[in-house]
Amino acid sequence: MERTLVILKPDCVCRGLIGEVVKRFEDEKFNVIALRMLHLSVEEAEKFYAVHQGKEFYERLTRYMSSSSVVSMVLEGENVMLRIRELIGATDPKNAVSGTIRKKYALSGLMNVVHASDSLESANGEIAFFFNDKEIFHYQRREE
């Protein structure tokens, strides 16, 4: 079953939106199979977002991501990587489709509530950044 990595960013945690956002994922029948709260150091945020090194927003992004605690999680489900990208919406909420998480909750193109992996390859690397195999718990979803 496909997996992807999601981070609830500081603006999500600090505004009391953890439950709302996780509910959106669960309502779509994705299973949360790993979950942890942590406070990234600047160095960890720089490492996580290394693909953006050199971009004009890189320093703001890494400072922001280490400004407060975040919640990282692994979601599992069919086509979960692409479907979660659709569900969260465009990076800048001004460009996000109505009904998406970022359209509804994002404060700006930087403080946009949630990170989600953008390819299966990056999902693998990002999952390994936060979780080892013993911290990931596959289970069957029950609907009754």
What does the binding site for ligand GDP look like in residue numbers (CB under 6 A)?
A: 52, 57, 60-61, 91, 109-110, 112, 115, 118
* Total interface residues for Mg ion by CB under 5 A: 1
Task: Output the residue with the shortest Cβ distance to Mg ion.
Answer: 118
Q: Output the 3-class SS for 46-83.
A: HHHCHHHCCCCCHHHHHHHHCCCCEEEEEEECCCHHHH
DSSP assignment, residue 108?
S
Name 144's Cβ contacts closer than 8 Å, sequence gap at least 6.
none
The least distance separating ligand GDP from the CB of residue 143, rounded to whole angstroms, comes to: 31
The least distance separating Mg ion from the CB of residue 56, rounded to whole angstroms, comes to: 15
Select the span of 3-11, 29-37, 64-72, 112-120 touching Mg ion (CB under 5 A). Answer: 112-120
Name 113's Cβ contacts closer than 8 Å, sequence gap at least 6.
8, 9, 11, 12, 17, 21, 88, 101, 102, 105, 106
Calculate helix-pair angle for 80-88, 18-27, nearest 10 degrees: 130
Q: Is 52 annotated as catalytic?
A: no
Nearer to Mg ion, 13 or 81 (CB): 81
Binding mask 63-102 for Mg ion (x = CB under 5 A): ----------------------------------------
Nearer to Mg ion, 39 or 55 (CB): 55
The least distance separating ligand GDP from the CB of residue 141, rounded to whole angstroms, comes to: 27
Nearer to Mg ion, 20 or 118 (CB): 118
CA distance 96 to 60: 21
- The residues that are catalytic are 115
